[in-house]
Structure 1
């Protein structure tokens, strides 16, 4: 613990002494960091944040690998600390749809390495949870290592074991940012100069970001929790209520903290069909509810502790407990609990609260160094369940440049604070999206689900034409991107027999038109809207040397050449895959994907560029068409005077040219494995670019093509997708991309790759095809050799050209040999599958280079 006087400087200042801030401080000190100061506006350890009003329940299983991995790490860490009660966790099902979902739970847990996940019969559930009415349920999912963390005890443990100074009752009033760098933290007790600062303020995350001029999309939301009076059925458990917080300064209602400090003696439970959860508190039981309309809190109005109020707790609202206000729920929380746990029906409540916690627009955490301010790190939107793991990841990232857990590097694309699109910081937007994520916490979310609100934010110049063609728009990074076009429905009958039906869960939100567009592109020519993809302009003296340093491949090539390369972190993990185009001696265009790519990849280039090099992320500045298919050359030649023959415009070359009147940078590259070009034009020319190609290709049967066809075509060719097949948790050798690495050049991550190659590559990515089924497999499902889990499905689709269902997975190297037999567990079925050589389609690249 720190002294009462506040230091005038520190290497690292962490704002927030809750679960996340304490975890970051502990892990930083474990890694050898020194001079760490942690400050909080509340008293210590009962700060008044969500870490101390939360019931501490930890359910570890998630569809997300990183959420599951961080939860398991947290449970192990806190168990060793003696502040975690591993009583197990049971999720019950009251519907067949929920039982199907619980089977998915087992598959996710198996895929990501949780111990002994299992389905229970109603009788087995009641053996663990005797208060449950067996007649109300169809079964349950049991994770034996789930449990509950004692929040106050855990914070005390962190403070005792972290080599850091902790200061409570210290309010941050400003962040000193100058020249794009953090210089100090200003508090009501003085200023602390610092080299780096971590924002771990969760419910106050938006306000903390505002002090640095950053709009962080962190939306606070209320949800309800009550603790019953002692129940006769739990009398044997006893109680220590009244003694749990003796000697501690407790803001607000002390009864809440007293009951939250009572340990459970039965498994923690969830009734997701009614958006409810529960746990015992000694001889009482706590009941938690998401089963009410979203109660969003103005991020600017979080407030502070007082004698009568804990800052992150609002007054209990009985109407939300007694009336069904949650969309799609017919029963109120009270009614649903009375049915499931009859012993609670007539019980009085000893403690009640509307506790506050936060959501981002996509429901995932926001961690990493901010793009706008060097040295300012985010550790926000993280629950107790994952706090230990994310604290470790962030500490490794800050100290060693590699986000990792003890099990290895982790994928950061879905959690990076830089992933948010430009509009995400608008308060109305992120509060609404956060509210939707609150609604979905216990919902069964369909594959490829799409939001209905805040649509049409970002559209390409082709949008109106696409609407006329019946585009089914999916949203990514705010962009409206067609998944398929109803105007191509006639193609389904043309390719009848080559497009198998997809039934059940795998077939939801899919269309056979996706397969028809795939097959049409292989035979004719299609136009794909790439406007959501981004180009990054790199110019100025030293541009070549700079890109040579950050790119894994040799990019010092002739003007007009195109290189596929990777951006690696210091650990050799794949931060991005990019296309680098040399337009002049010191002028380059770097292209990357859409969604979270501009912020993460563009930000990486910006922060590493020397003063002489200009890096400009041209997000939304260009409208781009992928023109692909065997007739693409014939179509393009009709629209330009430039020579687009194979001799005049070879594969992986670039030209400045005109398509009609439209100036474009044309790249002869193809993400679908067909002859074709990417045509990059200034956004204002986009409409004319589309019209020119469309009219010229009328007699060639040119068609629009959506993202569904792109997905299946790229898997047939084995082309990687960052955030799916590759990320910072894989190096290029594991990812099958050694051709994108030139070890004769010096680049960030090279030393790590040399070490990895010397140690031997333990895991490799490989395609597998399903032996006797045309079903499309789903991501996150376990890939096995008998009883042994080897990996999980990274990406999957149906390969319409090869007539087989495809999945990509990382497996131990000894299993990556073509012909190896494996099994995939998906939706309760076990599919036999076979490892294949890649690419599965056109291995000789004859279609690309003709």
Structure 2
């Protein structure tokens, strides 16, 4: 409801009354939250943000399950409002490569449950979109539930049907943050004290974050859109242009909002080969273009509405429309549109704009609790996903579990805390945001890597790795070796066990990865684990604290190691961790790299009592995985400590010296072989590598990269958080009941007990392909009798077992070993069989020797 008098206090303040802020407020109210206030610098409902200048096109299919699920929820919600035109969406192909891409669209949509995805012939496309020149296309992808949102109507509906109080023309001037928590929102109409605050300012997200001392990597970029004068080819389909915004306060050019509020009568379309999209506006045609160089906007210079302009709209730059300035496109937007939609060639434009919207460095949203207590982020979200993320954030805030009606969701890829420490530097996130803009409609290859801002974080082993011909990939800013050219000679040794990987699945792969896998199984290898993180938990009450946070019993002896999980209140897996007891009141908790330190470390820190210190040692330790049947022999050569099976048993830890280097040695292995993790202070890292390398020369020691690690861990069935396990799975579904001790009290226990009592309906299981050595890719549907029952979480070739592996979650009735299923990948249907795990060394003879 719209209000006038700004209160001096509210439980929750939402900053931003666009698509996302309104959705968060609506869902909070639906969940029972009271005393919610929404403020925006612009008038209501036409605030001047991207929600009201956007053409509202909604294509739901994405390689991301979360994005697809959020989009589908949004389309259903908007339909209930009466603010959604479900006209369908068609993506056309003008190249063979794009036709292959559209097949992936069908597979992603099938995997994630979108209704009736279809590939169309050129003639079938033109039946739906008669303005398209059939000779210009090879086919299309059709999603019947795609469509268009009437942005202003949806925002008006939110204001009228939400219990929250909305205040337009209210500019936030500051956020009062003290003692690490948000206290109040300062505005030009007064101060509003609050317990919680949601930043939903999108284009102004960086500026709003700075008010709280945060560097949120939100990069605004300009984007072009035009609407033609009425076309003869669309005669008779005109609507109510001129009346759509009657009675509303509209900043800047009212024509933009008038035409954006006019709905389509044909499917919305995309020509991604030329970075274009289009829809009808009554008897006019709207055309949008990413087909130009990235036009980044200084995130500190977004400005505000005025009588002359809408805050998130810039003047149309005709040169970017008529000249080819996109680095990967040969044609300009106008030339490509003239060919695809000939009726537009000579049309005059009634409306033009360079609208602004935002990108993060990885192109995904930034949602969830920030590092400021009580301050939440709901940023970098478009109309397409706004309803879904509003529900997710509201559930997270109210019930501690991010979820949609279909169930819990995995937020690791969108969590605002996922960003590495350097991501808030403005040049970095503006450059990366510009690159993501460039890639919006590009075909991005598997394992694609950026070229800019490289070498930011390197381990002390980096110079040794470069000398060995490491092929580096970037993860969380770290340079991590995927394989080593120095191991090319191993390919010939194992060539009969390394099948070729052709086509899309083989891009950015190397047979050297398979050779490193097999060498490690037979000899010994060094793996750089420096990007992994240790979290030191110490102080009075450390044991009780970790016992509360961990699902397993961590009341263990000094020197003992235990695998455990961290769960949220809903029993979803927040992390899998290795817990090492180093002293009476000192533990080391190890977790992965990438987004793990920011998400998992902060989770522990914010739950710790005052007597317990939680220190995330990101980058403070250099770590080597020493793995393979000769690992003990090599390590014993370098230390006076007893590392025999009796002296350092499996899942035990010991402080020792490797040469002169002090290390904490963990008898654990992520590859299913005899092995150790050697954790040392970073300054000793180079010497640690050199010591082991020289001592292992006659043992055939080799470096090993991340490609071999992935295939080895899948053979052994070891989980990877963010891939096989995450917050949308509980430990029982994930096949990890051994990591849950219900004799202890921990976060999420009640939910897990209820889930176990109700019965586990879905289970993780490995599949192997029956008649193929191809690698199947994640996000591809697993079928039974032609119906999707799951999708591939991770896939690779198991070089030691000689079979292609895929991990998936399926309904429990299909999880029995021997069940025949199929996997659809790149248009090919592969026969596969459910298998018991682990596929490699089920008796653990190798890891325990």
Aligned to 2:75: 75
2:2 and 2:160 in contact (8 A); partners too: no
Deviation, 1:824, is 0.2
Matched, 1:468 2:462: no
Match of 2:66 in 1: 66
Aligned position for 1:151: 151
Q: Which residue of 2 aligns with 1:522?
A: 521
In structure 1, the partner of 2:629 is 630
- Tell me the TM-score normalized by structure 1: 1.00
2:300 matched to 1:304?
no
For residues 337-394 of structure 1, give each alpha carbon's deviation from its aligned partner in whole angstroms, at most 9, with x where no partner exists.
Answer: 00000000000000000000000000000000002x0000000000000000000000
- For 2:752, the equivalent position in structure 1 comes to 753
User: Pairwise mapping of residues 471-486 of structure 1 onto structure 2 (< 5 A)?
Assistant: 471-486=470-485
- Superposed displacement of residue 788, structure 1: 1.2
Aligned to 2:563: 564
Which SS does the other structure have where 2:641 is aligned? Answer: coil
Counterpart in the other structure of 1:438 = 437
Q: What's the counterpart of residue 409 of structure 2? A: 410
**CA separation in 1, counterparts of 2:708 and 2:332?**
44
Distance in 1, matches of 2:810 and 2:576, equals: 21
- Deviation sequence 1:422-475 (CA, Å, 0-9, x none): 000000000000000000000000000000000000000000110000000000
Q: How does 1:350-365 map to 2 (within 5 A)?
A: 350-365=350-365
Moved more, 480-489 or 782-791: 782-791
Is structure 2 residue 756 aligned with structure 1 residue 719? Answer: no
Aligned to 2:235, the other structure's residue is in SS state: helix
2 CA distance for matches of 1:500 and 1:239? Answer: 60
What is the match of residue 107 of structure 1? Answer: 107
Q: What does 1:779-794 correspond to in 2, within 5 Å?
A: 779-794=778-793
Match in the other structure for 1:700? 699
Per-residue deviation, residues 380-414 of structure 1 (Å, max 9, x unmatched) = 00000000000000000000000000000000110
- 1:338 maps onto 2:359 in alignment: no
1:680-719, CA deviations, whole angstroms, 9 ceiling, x for partnerless residues? 0000000000000000000000000000000000000000
* Corresponding residue for residue 647 of structure 1: 646
1:320 is aligned to 320
For 1:657 and 1:410, how far apart are their aligned partners in 2?
42
The 5 A counterparts of 1:636-675 are 636-675=635-674
1:160-199 equivalences under 5 Å are 160-199=160-199
Aligned to 2:293: 293
2:129 counterpart residue number: 129
Partner of 2:845: 846
Q: Describe the superposition over 1:37-86 as per-residue Cα deviations: whole angstroms up to 9, x where unpaired.
A: 00000000000000000000000000000000000000000001110000
Q: Secondary structure at the match of 2:657?
A: strand
d(CA) in 2 for partners of 1:726, 1:470: 33
Q: CA separation in 2, counterparts of 1:187 and 1:618?
A: 39
Q: Distance in 2 between matches of 1:290 and 1:533?
A: 37
Which residue in the other structure is 2:682 paired with?
683
Give me the whole-angstrom Cα distance separating, in 2, the residues matched to 1:608 and 1:201.
28
C-alpha separation between the residues in 1 aligned to 2:152 and 2:495? Answer: 63
- State the match for 1:828 in structure 2: 827
Residue 792 of structure 1: CA displacement?
A: 0.2
* CA shift for structure 1 position 3: 2.4
Whether 1:19 and 2:19 are equivalent positions in the alignment is: yes
Quick one: distance in 2 between partners of 1:524 and 1:771?
Answer: 30
Cα-to-partner distance string for 1:555-576 (whole Å, 9 max, x where unaligned): 0011100000000000000000
Task: Structure 1: state its 5+ residue gaps.
Answer: none
Rounded to whole Å, the distance in 1 between the matches of 2:124 and 2:215 is: 49
The count of residues paired between Structure 1 and Structure 2 equals 849
SS at match of 2:460: coil
1:145 is paired with a residue whose SS is coil
What is the CA deviation profile of residues 761-798 of structure 1, one whole-angstrom value per residue up to 9, with x for unaligned ones?
Answer: 00000000000000000000000102211010000000
Q: What residue ranges of structure 2 are gaps of 5+ in the alignment? A: none
Q: Distance in 1 between matches of 2:211 and 2:254?
A: 32
SS in 2 for 1:793: strand
Specify the alignment match of 1:376 in structure 2. 375
Distance between the aligned counterparts of 1:565 and 1:163, measured in 2?
42
Q: Is the 8 A contact 2:129 2:266 kept in 1?
A: yes
Structure 1 position 119 matched with structure 2 position 119: yes
Q: Helix, strand or coil for the counterpart of 1:97? A: helix
Alpha-carbon shift at residue 2 of structure 1 (Å):
3.5
Give the corresponding residue for 1:532. Answer: 531
Contact 2:482 2:705 survives alignment (8 Å): yes
2:494 is aligned with 1:502: no
Report the equivalent of 2:776.
Answer: 777
In 1, Cα distance between equivalents of 2:633 and 2:267: 67
| Corresponding position of 1:249 | 249
Cα separation, 2, equivalents of 1:243 and 1:29: 32
Say yes or no: does 1:799 pair with 2:798: yes
- 1:154-183: per-residue Cα shift (whole Å, max 9, x none)? 001111111100000000000000000010
Contact kept, 8 Å, 2:2 with 2:159, in 1: the verdict is no
TM-score by length of 2: 1.00
1:576 aligns to 2:603 (yes or no):
no
CA–CA distance in structure 2, aligned partners of residues 68 and 577 of structure 1: 26
1:548 match: 547
Partner residue in 1 for 2:743: 744
SS at match of 1:669: coil
Contact 2:229–2:349 (CA under 8 A) maintained in structure 1: yes
The answer to whether the Cα contact below 8 Å between 2:122 and 2:138 also exists between their aligned partners in 1 is yes
CA distance in 2, matches of 1:687, 1:648: 27
Give the C-alpha shift of residue 224 in structure 1: 0.1
Q: Distance in 2 between matches of 1:375 and 1:289?
A: 38
How far is 1:236 from its partner?
1.4
What residue number does 2:392 align with? 393
